[in-house]
Structure 1
Amino acid sequence: MLIRPVTTADFDALRAIELAAFETLRAAGAVSGVPSASSDQQLQRYLDDGFLDVACDHSGDAIGFCGGYIAEHLLHIGEMDVHPNSQRQGVGRALLTAALDKARAQRLDGATLTTDRFAPFNAPFYATMGFRALAADELPARLREILNEEAKNGLNPDRRIAMMLRF
C-alpha cells in the first residue's frame, strides 16, 4: 500500500470509495437514505490545507482516503473512507496515522472529528488511536455546529459523537 497526496484528478475515485463505503455504514446502522459523497469544494478545502491523502493498492488504484482541515489550531478529520474490498486490512489506521503525523509536524494541538458512536470501525476504532469522546458540555461551538449540521442532513443525532485527540 502506498499513501500519497491527492490531486484533483483523484476526486472522482475518492467519491467512488466514499459511496461504496456508505453501504458498510448502512449495514452497521450508522446511515440511511440516499448515499452522498464529498463535493469538489469539500475535497478542495482538505487539499488546500494539505490534509488529503489517498491509499493505493499495488496496482496504483485508490482504496481509501483521509481528508481534513485546520480549525482552531487542530486538525479536523472531515472524511475518511476505505473501499469495502480493502477494509479491515489496516488502510484506515495507516491513513489516520499519516494525517496525525502531519498535524504533529505542523505543531498543531491535536485533532477532532465527528463519527458514529456505535459502529465498531468508527468511535471504537478512533479510541484505539487515542481519541476520546467529548461530553456535551465539553463541545466547542465548532463541533456543536458540525453535529447540528449532520442532524439536519439526516444523520441520527443519537448515534453521533465528537471526539478529540490532544498531542
Structure 2
Amino acid sequence: MLIRPATTADFDALRAIELAAFETLRAAGAISGVPSASSDQQLQRYLDHGLLEVACDHGGDPIGFCGGYIAERLLHIGEMDVHPNSQQQGVGRALLTASLDKARAQRLDGATLTTDRLAPFNAPFYAGIGFRALADGELPARLREILDEEAKIGLDPARRVAMMLRF
C-alpha cells in the first residue's frame, strides 16, 4: 500500500470509494437514505489545505482516502473512507496516521472530527488512536455547527459524536 497526496485527477475514484463505503455504514446502521459523496468543492478544500491523502493498492489504484482542513489551529478530518474490499487491513489507520503526522509537522494543536458513535469502525476506532468524545458542554461552536448540519442532512443526532485529539 502506498499513501500519497491526492490530485484533482483522483476525485472520481475517491467519490467511488466513498459511495462503496456508504453501504458498509448503512449495514452498521450509521446512515440511511440515498448514498452521497463529497463534492468537487469539498475535495478541493482538502486539497487546498494540503490535507487530502489517498491510499493506493500495489497496482496504484485508490482504495481509500482521508481529507481534512485546518480550523482553529486544529486539523479537522472532514471525510475518511476505505473501499469495503480493503477494510480491516490497516488502510484507515495508515491514512489517519499520515494526516495526523502532517498536522504535527505544521505544529497544529490537535485534530477534530465527527463520526458515528456506535459503529465499531468509527468512534471506537478513533478512540483507540487517542481521540476522545466531547461532551455537549465542551463542544466548540464550529463542531456544534457541523453536528447540526449533519442532522439537517439526515444523520441521526443520537448516533453522532464530536471527537478531539490533542497533540
Partner of 2:81: 81
Partner of 2:9: 9
SS in 2 for 1:163: strand
Partner of 2:52: 52
Corresponding letter in the other structure for 2:19? L
Cα deviation for residue 27 of structure 1 reads: 0.2
Find the aligned partners of 2:113 and 2:129 in 1 and give their Cα distance.
12
Find the aligned partners of 2:69 and 2:133 in 1 and give their Cα distance.
20
Partner of 1:160: 160
Find the aligned partners of 2:85 and 2:125 in 1 and give their Cα distance.
18
Find the aligned partners of 2:28 and 2:34 in 1 and give their Cα distance.
15
Cα deviation for residue 153 of structure 1 reads: 0.3
Partner of 1:24: 24
SS in 1 for 2:78: strand
Q: Which blocks of at least 5 consecutive residues in structure 2 are unaligned?
A: none
Corresponding letter in the other structure for 1:3? I
RMSD: 0.2
Residues 69-98 of structure 1 show CA distances to partners (whole Å, capped at 9, x for unaligned) of 000000000000000000000000000000
What are the within-5 Å matches in structure 2 for residues 17-166 of structure 1?
17-166=17-166
Find the aligned partners of 2:114 and 2:157 in 1 and give their Cα distance.
11
TM-score, scaled relative to structure 2: 1.00
SS in 2 for 1:30: coil
Q: Which runs of 4+ in 1 moved over 2 A?
A: none
TM-score, scaled relative to structure 1: 1.00
SS in 2 for 1:120: coil
SS in 1 for 2:75: strand
Find the aligned partners of 2:128 and 2:92 in 1 and give their Cα distance.
12
Cα deviation for residue 21 of structure 1 reads: 0.1
SS in 1 for 2:155: coil
SS in 1 for 2:31: coil
SS in 2 for 1:101: helix
**Identity over aligned pairs, percent:** 88
Find the aligned partners of 1:112 and 1:154 in 2 and give their Cα distance.
21
Q: Which blocks of at least 5 consecutive residues in structure 1 are unaligned?
A: none
Cα deviation for residue 127 of structure 1 reads: 0.2
